[in-house]
Structure 1
Amino acid sequence: MLSLHNHSYYSMLQGTMSPDQIIAHAKASGSSYVALSDRNNMYGLIQFAKKAFAENLKPVLGALIDDPKDRTLNALFIARNNRGYSQLCKLITARNLKEDFALQEVFSSDIKDFFVISSSLGLLNKIKGCKCWKENIFAELIVTERRRRKTRELYEFARANGLQIVASHPAYFLKPEDYELHRVVTAIRLNSTLYNLCSEDLADEEYCLKSSEEMDKLWKSLPEALWNIGRIVRESNVELDLGSRKFPVFSLPEGETSFSYLWKVAFRGLEEKYKPITEKAIKRLQHELEVIEELNYADYFLIIWDVIREARKRGMVSIGRGSAANSLVSYCLDFTQVDPLYHNFYFERFLNRGRKSPPDVDLDFSWQERDQIVKYIYEKYGFSRVAMISTTVTFRARSAFREVAKAFGIANEEISRYSKFIPWTSAQNLPGIADKFPETKSLDFSTEPWRSIVRIASRLADFPRHLSVHPSGIVITDQPITNYVALEYAKNKGLGLIITQPDMYSIEEMGLIKIDLLSQRSLGVLKDTLLRINRGPSAPEGSLTDDHSKVRVFRINSQN
């Protein structure tokens, strides 16, 4: 049996394995399942589940949750079913957003949809006798030299209090030799140096992935603990509904369906755009609407239309960009101001029956006005159903070099003398970088400590550093968003900006709908210019329309 307690590199600057490596290890071990349990987050959980399914492995989905006021109080929460998965999202969100969060209070409510595994004797003493104490709470027994005494105490506590036991071996790194990398990322996380770390800062040196054979050998004298791993795996059955679209429902006039209303709005726009309306325009619009209905995207188009309509009401300038300009529906709903019939644009480049991903409509707003539209979306659909999307900031060559050098105790001034020559490239390129980029020919990393710094820094390629806010992505859901994903504050907590823990790729895998609202300084300048020219309260109607003659003049002048 494999352990259920695994930390990927999404346990930021603690774990050193990618989720893919954990899956590959389970596959190589001949296991039928694989588990992920990062600390206080689900950053990689959705992609992990998808890849596990692709490898015919059963994903066991969980997270290690600790008490923010005392991190020695912690427990591994594993989702037993889909409701347990949603409860896990809510629990992680509460841990990250609530100022008064206390882990022991979680156990005062119903936790039947979790398996809870804890090696924290302090926590188990606090929750002793709670609901489900004997049903789905387990003492986590860990056998290492460092933990031998604590494990004995925990075992005796479990036996004295009727608590089930389960075998475990937390993993933070793939192989024993990766402990060095764990020490470095820990120093980076604590803003310390390798020489100032103490044993309490670090995971146990033995916390690498164990094979099934190693686990069986380790626990052969206590088969009950191994058997309980199997029980937890058998009874953990989360089936993420990946791929199916979860559209928020647009508020409709009485008697209308989403599609019937979209049809009316689109044809109303057609009447305004084309005078007279041609047979070609009618057939094209009907075809596009049929595809939209077949793919069930009517609500999506109505939501975008509503955003544009609200912006127009407020006198804002907005422009749709990208492949949406290929669509006549987009043109009729004012997403874009480019006539796709005149320019002979191909609708299927934007949307077609074979496309698996949802249509992508990017809307540009003035940098002065974009936040007003974001606020409108929150207010219209509810703060529980809207969130900004995160993006994962990863180490690049320069940042990896700087951070590892600091962990080695190198002064900033000396680091800068080297790092200023390192280009924007992958950290994988650090070894032999002088042979790859002309600007780095003067760099010599052949002596210590630079040789070790470069070697270790190159291993941080694509490692997550922290989350940031996606520059434009916002997600709207049909249910409370924490039914699907966990939330946390953006890096600058003082701004109060709440973001999804999974990034845009995982959001799309879950079938959640993302819209992109981009902030453009140039649109603000353009609007200010138009206001000054016209001396009016707003930009003139049609000032950003697709005037073909003006476009031709602009092109001719640009070529001269």
Structure 2
Amino acid sequence: MADFVHLHLHTEYSLLDGACRIGEMLDEAVRLEMPAVAVTEHGNLFSAVKFHDEARKRGIKPIIGCEVYVANGDRRNHSGTPGETANHLVLLASDLAGYHNLIKLVSAGYTEGFYYKPRIDKELLADHAEGIIGLSSCLKGEVATHLCRDQASRAREAAATFRDILGANNFFLEMQYQGIDDQQVVNRGLPPIAADLGLPLVCTNDVHYLRQGDHRPHDVLLCIGTGKNVADEKRLRYHGDQFYLKTPEEMAAVFGDFPEALRNTVAIAERCDVDLSGTVHRLPNFDVPAPFESPEDYFASVARDGFDERRPRLQALRERGALRYDVEQYERRLAYEIEMIRKMGYAGYFLIVWDFIRYARERGIPVGPGRGSAAGSLVAYCMRITDVDPLELDLIFERFLNPERVSLPDIDIDFCERRRGEVIEYVTRKYGRENVAQIITFGTMKARAVVRDVGRTLGMSYAEVDRVAKQIPQTLDMTLAKALEENPTLGEMQRTTPQVKELLDVAQRLEGVTRHASVHAAGVVIAPAPITEFAPLYKKDDIVTTQWAMNEVERIGLLKMDFLGLSTLTLLHDAVDHIRRSTGETIRLDAIPLDDEKAYRLFGSGQTLGIFQFESSGMRETLRKAKPQRFEDLIALNALYRPGPLGAGVIDTFIDRKDGREEIAYDTPKLEPILHGTYGVIAYQEQVMRIASDLAGFTMGEADVLRKAMGKKIASVMEAQREKFLTGAVERGLAAEVARKIWDLMEYFAGYGFNKSHSAAYALLAYQTAYLKANYPACFMAALLTIERQNTDKVALYLGECRDLGVPVLPPDVNESEWAFTVTPAGVRFGLGAIKNVGDGAVESILAARRGSGRLTSLNRLCEDVDLRLVNKRVLESLVKAGAFDGLCGDDAASGNGAGRRRRSAQLLAAVDGAIEHGSRRQRNRDCGQHELFGESEAVQADGTAMRLPDVPPWTEGEQLACEKEALGLYLSGHPIDRFRRELDRAGVRSIESLDQPAASATVAGIVSQRRDLKTKKGDPMAVITLEDRAGRLEAVVFPEAFRKYGRLLGVDALVTVNGKLEIDEDTARLIASEVRPVDALLSAAGRPLAIRLAAPPADRTTLEALRDVFGRHPGNGRVALEIELRGQSPPLRVRARLNRVRVQPSDRLAEDVEKVCGKGAVSWG
């Protein structure tokens, strides 16, 4: 071996502290001819498997270790000053026993000892000391800490304790020197202790970054982790630039006076030998019932019984002439799959999946029809693991499982989002709590995100960083290097602006570095024994996960399942429940026809908001072009609407061929049965496999290997496969030229081809949602609005969809509303649970009051009957502002009379304090057994239906809408912009919801709902505003030049039109403002008169005088007209008269003042 080996090193998995990428670090170790290297993350083993495998590939010996935190006392004591409750200690696994002990130690650090850091203690270390080599660590080690405090005797005691725990030959005193004064103190104090206790010395460099020049990016990384600015003097920092991967020569120059410390690095490396090569599948045991003797027998029985349950459906299809293959072919396919699964040893795996899906179905937990390649399995269909008939849709079993595949089959399951946890809990109980855990996932710093992170720590302004970030294309797998290559503007900014150059240089060094750990959305591990026998555990927010991500968990052989929570299943379940409650019909989703005309009309119209996988604006536009007419079209569109096929124009070819604008030509008739369903376009991976099999004689397993090679563009495999294909095709009668042409076609499309099994399963979910929306729109929208109730942007969008569907949405009502949105004969009723500040407890209290006392008749009565700790002042005010008491306010308010509603709402809001006091008093008296004189409150009339309300001014319409927005997060009964919609349409001003394509110039109108004032680094003011109209919300950036001109117009609640450049990233629009105008200015420029509608005979003199006063308060040049409706005529006759002597200044305030006099809806422009 060389003269030195690094034994203390941190990669990017020492999160936001280590900056070494594993691959780069190992490549540098190879370059430096280092035979071995250790990785010792802070408190975790996140990188262990990845590091091990990458090191072995390069011929470097991996040493698996960890720099643990050792508690000063009991690890379970979670108190004390942060940063002072633990010291560092480096532990290295010398053999497999040590490796397994290390797993148990770091697991306990998170599951038992976590207090700011994952801590073990000396008792735990003693219990798991076998196979462990310890180093005393850095300045934060216990020995070094005491030496720095001039406590030599305590340092000696600490070293002796670790010697006794680990053994004299297994504990080394660690020397470091990166130019820090305290290190010299420690390095002088260690040799005497070593001599006194008979302990060996070792030297390390505590590597945190790869090269000396990386100290600046590493410093920025620390700032990102601590939320500090690099200019902050009082922040955490590593002094100097010496924490890099030094050469043996550089280490010898530092520790030349301690040759034994250098030699001991090599001796330790020679002692450490942990080889994790190979994968052994570790499936949990599945207990089979009597009389079955093995999982294989039980599996076959369950699969065949399941086929018998599916048989009536096949017979019904055969009777209708709609069965694609005869039943005998199903039986042959089933027998083939059963035998293949048994031979490959996966019978137990299928039983495990079948069991927890059966549990879910038996308890009414919605389960998806399938996902991924498992939908291609008839066995899975028969066992009701999936609900997609693979023969009917020509799906291929070998895409899922074949002898050439070495990994476990992958069955991912969708469950109702609301009840997914019940299934995980069942699995946890069945297989043991210690044997089941969720899986960790790691987030990395992507191109745009790392620019924003780095810019913030460098002290750059939002505007400066934003200008750079927006130059990075928002496309799949974008990197900063690609962005600089593709966007000359970004390169120019880097060359000409020193600050941008530093930003991009540092960002490129940190791009892709792991930023944080979180829980994988779906992954669950099920082990045959406690997971810590195989993998370390991590715990955060009471959720236990593995410390290794999905790939590493599978790599060591553990069974990984994806339990996905899918809100679409919740939506379907709730919509079906609404249908049953409101119509009495019971809908079986697996029995709905796949040729429903209304459903396909819905798809063809692009009216697919809320439809799974078909909701984006781009997809809706594609649907309007494609006009799908059969289920196969939906499968294809779902597969093709992805960046690759879209960029290559494949989806346009598909549509043109479908509609007959482009001829469908096949190079050989053998392609027609394979590609006819997609009009000659290769849309699916399964089509590539079928072509290889039918035209060139590949087995399906071989075809799957080809499919993988083409999809991943593995050149070495591709060339051999090409020769095999061409030879096989020619042998089967194809001309060599035709065979080459077909190969080229396959190669071109294979990069875009999608898994048809997955696309078919998800197209089925999409069709089911569309079927319910098309046939039961109110029930569907009620379920959808409930699910999205916390997302006010989506609720506003879906309310617009309700209007388009002709589904009335009724305001919340304390007597009519439930917690969720509900369906009534009059429309969809807003749910109480969607009102802000009204929690679940408050809703339940109101519902309980209704159940106990019947219909609530007044605010006072409600306060008598509810729990006022839950239904407090804040709740009551939100209910009033939302309009939930309008039904108690008399005919004028309840029927929607604007003036009446505004008057009563203002009175009710003023009455809340008194109502609470009244209710509290009545409840106290009731609890004491007392009754008020005559048994009624003095505030309630004899009939109990009314209460005296304060005499306060009524709300204006603007105040009413503002209150509604405050309580609901959106405008329900109207929108401030509505009265100007006609003029805005004429002026070409677009609705926010219609913004689906980038544009150099676009004009939108809305109310300013939020404003964030910012400053550039030069100190120039700018702002980011949020604009809202009735159906959408848009962010607009107002840079300094535009802000100087228009900033005064951008107050919150201002109604404005904004023109600028429209940018769209991943369906999110943003406007770069260049011009802002008040909406009033648009009306003035248009010259349209203010039109006031009055019923005949005209209003009395008081009304006319009130109007004259309004006109006097708004002088200007705008014209006024009266529209008088003669209601005695049939149909009613309208007479329009201009008031030639009256001129006003058009404005929102003018319209509001007129409507105070004449009623809501009396004003229009034009």
| TM-score by shorter chain over 0.5 | yes
* Structure 2 Cα separation of the partners of residues 345 and 551 of structure 1: 25
* Structure 1 Cα separation of the partners of residues 592 and 394 of structure 2: 14
* Structure 2 Cα separation of the partners of residues 207 and 52 of structure 1: 21
- Following superposition, the deviation at residue 424 of structure 1 comes to 3.4
* Structure 2 Cα separation of the partners of residues 197 and 133 of structure 1: 43
Counterpart in the other structure of 1:556: 629
Counterpart in the other structure of 2:44: 41
Aligned 8 A contact 2:442 2:515 in 1:
yes
User: Which residue of 123, 126, 137 corresponds with 2:158?
Assistant: 126
Residues 63-78 of structure 1 correspond to what in structure 2 (within 5 A)? 63-67=66-70, 69-70=83-84, 73-78=87-92
Counterpart in the other structure of 1:515: 561
User: Which residue of 197, 206, 209 corresponds with 2:245?
Assistant: 209
Helix, strand or coil at the partner of 2:571 = helix
Q: Relative to structure 1, is the Cα distance of residues 461 and 515 closer, same or farther in structure 2, using a 3 angstrom cutoff?
A: same
- Following superposition, the deviation at residue 445 of structure 1 comes to 7.8
> Structure 1 stretches of 5 or more lacking a match?
none
User: Which residue of 401, 405, 408 corresponds with 1:351?
Assistant: 401
Aligned 8 A contact 2:113 2:120 in 1:
no
Aligned 8 A contact 2:372 2:412 in 1:
yes
* Aligned residue type for 1:311: A
Aligned 8 A contact 2:5 2:266 in 1:
no
Helix, strand or coil at the partner of 1:519 = strand
Counterpart in the other structure of 1:456: 506
* Aligned residue type for 1:150: V
Structure 1 residues 256-265 or 129-138, which shifts more? Answer: 129-138
| CA RMSD between the two structures | 3.1
Helix, strand or coil at the partner of 1:469 = strand
Counterpart in the other structure of 1:315: 364
- Following superposition, the deviation at residue 429 of structure 1 comes to 4.3
Residue 113 of structure 1 pairs with residue 131 of structure 2: yes
* Structure 1 Cα separation of the partners of residues 492 and 258 of structure 2: 60
Q: Relative to structure 1, is the Cα distance of residues 70 and 265 closer, same or farther in structure 2, using a 3 angstrom cutoff?
A: same
Q: Relative to structure 1, is the Cα distance of residues 235 and 430 closer, same or farther in structure 2, using a 3 angstrom cutoff?
A: closer
User: Which residue of 166, 172, 186 corresponds with 2:208?
Assistant: 172
Counterpart in the other structure of 2:1046: none
User: Which residue of 525, 531, 551 corresponds with 1:505?
Assistant: 551
* Aligned residue type for 1:314: R
- Following superposition, the deviation at residue 266 of structure 1 comes to 0.7
* Aligned residue type for 1:73: N
Helix, strand or coil at the partner of 1:325 = helix
Helix, strand or coil at the partner of 1:66 = strand
* Aligned residue type for 2:556: M
Structure 1 residues 411-420 or 57-66, which shifts more? Answer: 411-420
* Aligned residue type for 2:455: A
Helix, strand or coil at the partner of 1:384 = helix
Q: Relative to structure 1, is the Cα distance of residues 442 and 313 closer, same or farther in structure 2, using a 3 angstrom cutoff?
A: farther
Per-residue deviation, residues 234-263 of structure 1 (Å, max 9, x unmatched): 222212254221111112224531211111
* Aligned residue type for 2:212: P
**What TM-score do you get using the length of structure 1 for normalisation?**
0.90
Counterpart in the other structure of 2:186: 150
Helix, strand or coil at the partner of 2:134 = strand
Structure 1 residues 425-434 or 366-375, which shifts more? Answer: 425-434
Residue 274 of structure 1 pairs with residue 324 of structure 2: no
Counterpart in the other structure of 2:1007: none
Q: Which has the larger radius of gyration?
A: 2
* Structure 1 Cα separation of the partners of residues 303 and 21 of structure 2: 47
Helix, strand or coil at the partner of 2:231 = helix
Residues 377-456 of structure 1 correspond to what in structure 2 (within 5 A)? 377-412=427-462, 415-416=465-466, 419=469, 422-424=472-474, 429-430=479-480, 433=483, 436=486, 446-456=496-506
Structure 1 residues 409-418 or 510-519, which shifts more? Answer: 409-418
- Following superposition, the deviation at residue 223 of structure 1 comes to 3.2
Helix, strand or coil at the partner of 1:556 = coil
Aligned 8 A contact 1:324 1:350 in 2:
yes
Structure 1 residues 182-191 or 251-260, which shifts more? Answer: 251-260
Quote the sequence identity (%). Answer: 30
Counterpart in the other structure of 1:50: 53
User: Which residue of 318, 323, 328 corresponds with 2:378?
Assistant: 328
Per-residue deviation, residues 522-558 of structure 1 (Å, max 9, x unmatched): 211111122232349x996953258666699956368
Residue 141 of structure 1 pairs with residue 175 of structure 2: yes
Helix, strand or coil at the partner of 2:503 = helix
* Aligned residue type for 1:295: M
Q: Relative to structure 1, is the Cα distance of residues 102 and 468 closer, same or farther in structure 2, using a 3 angstrom cutoff?
A: closer
Counterpart in the other structure of 1:163: 199
- Following superposition, the deviation at residue 220 of structure 1 comes to 4.5
Per-residue deviation, residues 99-157 of structure 1 (Å, max 9, x unmatched): 46453443443412211111321486436233234131111122443222211212222
Q: Which has the higher contact order (CA 8 A, sep 6+)?
A: 1
Counterpart in the other structure of 1:470: 520
User: Which residue of 53, 63, 67 corresponds with 1:60?
Assistant: 63
* Structure 2 Cα separation of the partners of residues 465 and 509 of structure 1: 23
* Structure 2 Cα separation of the partners of residues 437 and 523 of structure 1: 42
Structure 1 residues 198-207 or 499-508, which shifts more? Answer: 198-207
Residues 185-200 of structure 1 correspond to what in structure 2 (within 5 A)? 185-197=221-233
Aligned 8 A contact 1:187 1:197 in 2:
no
**What TM-score do you get using the length of structure 2 for normalisation?**
0.45
Counterpart in the other structure of 2:914: none
* Structure 1 Cα separation of the partners of residues 492 and 422 of structure 2: 50
